[in-house]
Chain A
Amino acid sequence: MKLTLKIWRQKNAQDKGHFETYEVDAHEDMSFLEMLDVLNERLIRQKKDPIAFDHDCREGICGACSMVINGKPHGPLPGTTTCQLHMRHFKDGDTIWVEPFRAAAFPVIKDLMVDRSAFERIMQAGGYISVNTGSAPEANSIPVPKPIADKAFDAAACIGCGACVAACPNGAAMLFVAAKISHLGLLPHGQPERYIRARKMVERMYLEGFGNCTNIGACEAECPKEISLEHIARMNRWFAKASLIEEG
């Protein structure tokens, strides 16, 4: 299948950047990243600079791949990452626009690579449990009700890819932060610190320059792990409680 790619090229953070057009001949069984690999091999053979993009596990669990394809983070398929997107979902002759994740808190490093270390700093602010909980306990020694376990698992599915930030017209990171706050705060080991964690992580989120949620819902729609907005409501609730009622 013949495709026209309009890919964002930017030498470094200071460069203004521009779109460059590439014609590629792809096979429908290729993943999107494999298609880019083929293009990059051609660019290298031509002694041109290959397109920089993040990727790691290529099986949808690491959260590294991070491009916006035709206006959608991770492309048009719901509930998948870019590496899980195959070329069979495009038509012969299609023009595909590929852009980096856009948000002031995710500055472009090069081409399609953005600096997502702001997420790490939010995690360092409170995305952990302070006590040493030892090695994995016997599975049923601490009973967790099934509905709570399900909610925590829904949140824990977050791979921290940043698609929520990329999809959000406000550049907000609330789905990511809310997922971490819910995941840890709903389960027994994380409960004692749930409010202080909410406060610390939310404060860090703002320091990093992420926007403010207006409940548009694009994050939930584009999240490769289909994490629910329910977690954002919980974060709002816990943050308010942490700020207004809880001591410490």
Chain B
Amino acid sequence: MNAIAKFLRSPIGQKWIMALTGLFLVSFLIVHLSGNILLLLPDNGRTFSAFVDWMESRWIIRILSILLFLGFTLHIVQGILLYRYNRKAKGARYAVTATDNSTWSARHMALLGIGILLFLILHLWDFFFPMKVLKAFPHQQLYDEVVQTFQNPLWVIAYVLGMVVLGLHLSHGFQSAFQTLGIRHPKYTPFIVAFGKWFSILVPLLFAIIPIALYFKFS
């Protein structure tokens, strides 16, 4: 155990924490999206509500949601610690900075992370807190709440922007996680890079379509 603790405290170990929690959060995106996409079915939310019912009645989902909270917290706290560490290690900045040697999103992962955090706060404020904490509405009513929220075009724009930020974060983060874990091989890396690129476009796009579709469907 001592060896594991020592490794996780080393800076490469800290990056492993970023990579592993990052990939865990990626897996959550897939689960979340597969539920949300039901909102697009033309059945006035019947299937979506059935899915919510199912989620609410499963203890495994409860455990996973605690793990998810821990995953987010670890990813955020570790990210802040690494950012501060790296700022200190760089010291003085250049008067002229080259930008053509790397992608914008790779250089601004922390900024994009803050963007996602802001979106996350907004998102939890919209649905999670009123439903789970304040008990302002029962989970059977979630579909109506979602539809109502996205009648406000400002909210639709905020959610779409949130997904753009998520896409940029993933466009670097996905393949970066594998590099950090040392998973790099001429046979697999081209697939991982291509998969990460498509994932970072498709998943946020599908998420973003939902508020747009709901807005136009009911307005």
The count of residues in chain B whose C-beta lies closer than 8 Å to any C-beta of chain A is 40
How close is B10's CB to chain A, nearest CB, in angstroms?
7
| A19 and chain B: residue at smallest CB distance | B95
Task: Evaluate contact between A240 and B7: CB separation under 8 angstroms.
Answer: yes
Which A residues touch B57, using CB under 8 A? Answer: none
Which B residues touch A238, using CB under 8 A? Answer: 182
Task: Evaluate contact between A217 and B106: CB separation under 8 angstroms.
Answer: yes
Task: Evaluate contact between B86 and A216: CB separation under 8 angstroms.
Answer: no
**What sequence of 0s and 1s flags, for each residue 105-131 of chain B, a beta carbon within 8 Å of any chain A beta carbon?**
011010000000000000000000000
Q: How far is the CA of A6 from the CA of B96 in the complex (A)?
A: 11
| A208 and chain B: residue at smallest CB distance | B89
Task: Evaluate contact between A105 and B179: CB separation under 8 angstroms.
Answer: no
In the complex where A218-B102, A232-B179, A244-B7 touch, is A172 in contact with B86 (Cβ < 8 A)? yes
Task: Evaluate contact between B180 and A236: CB separation under 8 angstroms.
Answer: yes
Which A residues touch B103, using CB under 8 A? Answer: 216-217
- In the assembled complex, B62 has its CB within 8 A of some CB on chain A: no
Task: Evaluate contact between A203 and B10: CB separation under 8 angstroms.
Answer: yes
- In the assembled complex, A148 has its CB within 8 A of some CB on chain B: no
Task: Evaluate contact between B91 and A171: CB separation under 8 angstroms.
Answer: yes
The stretch among B11-19, B39-47, B67-75, B146-154 that forms the contact with chain A is B11-19
- In the assembled complex, B217 has its CB within 8 A of some CB on chain A: no
**What sequence of 0s and 1s flags, for each residue 157-177 of chain B, a beta carbon within 8 Å of any chain A beta carbon?**
000000000000000100110
- In the assembled complex, A215 has its CB within 8 A of some CB on chain B: yes
**What sequence of 0s and 1s flags, for each residue 53-77 of chain A, a beta carbon within 8 Å of any chain B beta carbon?**
0000000000000001011100000
Q: How far is the CA of A222 from the CA of B94 in the complex (A)?
A: 15
Task: Evaluate contact between A221 and B15: CB separation under 8 angstroms.
Answer: no
Task: Evaluate contact between B184 and A233: CB separation under 8 angstroms.
Answer: yes
Which A residues touch B3, using CB under 8 A? Answer: 243-244
Task: Evaluate contact between B182 and A234: CB separation under 8 angstroms.
Answer: yes
In the complex where A210-B89, A243-B13 touch, is A215 in contact with B179 (Cβ < 8 A)? yes
Task: Evaluate contact between B98 and A236: CB separation under 8 angstroms.
Answer: no
In the complex where A71-B96, A167-B101 touch, is A211 in contact with B182 (Cβ < 8 A)? no
Task: Evaluate contact between A206 and B10: CB separation under 8 angstroms.
Answer: yes
Task: Evaluate contact between A216 and B179: CB separation under 8 angstroms.
Answer: no
- In the assembled complex, A202 has its CB within 8 A of some CB on chain B: yes
Which B residues touch A172, using CB under 8 A? Answer: 86, 89
Task: Evaluate contact between A171 and B95: CB separation under 8 angstroms.
Answer: no
In the complex where A71-B98, A202-B12, A243-B7 touch, is A214 in contact with B109 (Cβ < 8 A)? yes
In the complex where A99-B94, A99-B96 touch, is A218 in contact with B7 (Cβ < 8 A)? no
- In the assembled complex, A79 has its CB within 8 A of some CB on chain B: no
| A242 and chain B: residue at smallest CB distance | B7
- In the assembled complex, B187 has its CB within 8 A of some CB on chain A: no
Task: Evaluate contact between A103 and B184: CB separation under 8 angstroms.
Answer: no
**Which of A171, A213, A234, A244 is within 8 Å of B15, CB to CB?**
A213
Task: Evaluate contact between B86 and A170: CB separation under 8 angstroms.
Answer: yes
Which A residues touch B98, using CB under 8 A? Answer: 70-72, 167, 218, 222
Which A residues touch B181, using CB under 8 A? Answer: 236-237, 240
How close is B171's CB to chain A, nearest CB, in angstroms?
12
Task: Evaluate contact between B106 and A240: CB separation under 8 angstroms.
Answer: no
In the complex where A202-B12, A230-B184, A234-B184 touch, is A212 in contact with B89 (Cβ < 8 A)? yes
Which B residues touch A102, using CB under 8 A? Answer: 90-94
Task: Evaluate contact between A104 and B96: CB separation under 8 angstroms.
Answer: no
- In the assembled complex, B58 has its CB within 8 A of some CB on chain A: no
- In the assembled complex, B191 has its CB within 8 A of some CB on chain A: no
**What sequence of 0s and 1s flags, for each residue 30-65 of chain A, a beta carbon within 8 Å of any chain B beta carbon?**
000000000000000000000000000000000000
Task: Evaluate contact between A103 and B12: CB separation under 8 angstroms.
Answer: no
Task: Evaluate contact between A243 and B6: CB separation under 8 angstroms.
Answer: yes
In the complex where A102-B91, A206-B11, A216-B107 touch, is A240 in contact with B102 (Cβ < 8 A)? no
Which A residues contact B (CB, under 8 angstroms)?
Answer: 6, 19, 68, 70-72, 97, 99, 102-105, 167-172, 202-203, 206, 209-218, 221-222, 229-230, 232-240, 243-244
Instruction: Contacts A103-B90, A212-B12, A215-B176 known; list 10 others, CB within 8 Å.
Output: A171-B86, A202-B12, A212-B14, A213-B180, A217-B101, A218-B102, A235-B182, A238-B182, A240-B13, A244-B4
Can you list 15 A-B pairs, Cβ within 8 angstroms, ordered by A?
A: A6-B95, A71-B94, A71-B96, A71-B97, A97-B95, A99-B94, A102-B93, A211-B89, A212-B15, A215-B172, A215-B175, A232-B179, A236-B12, A243-B7, A244-B4
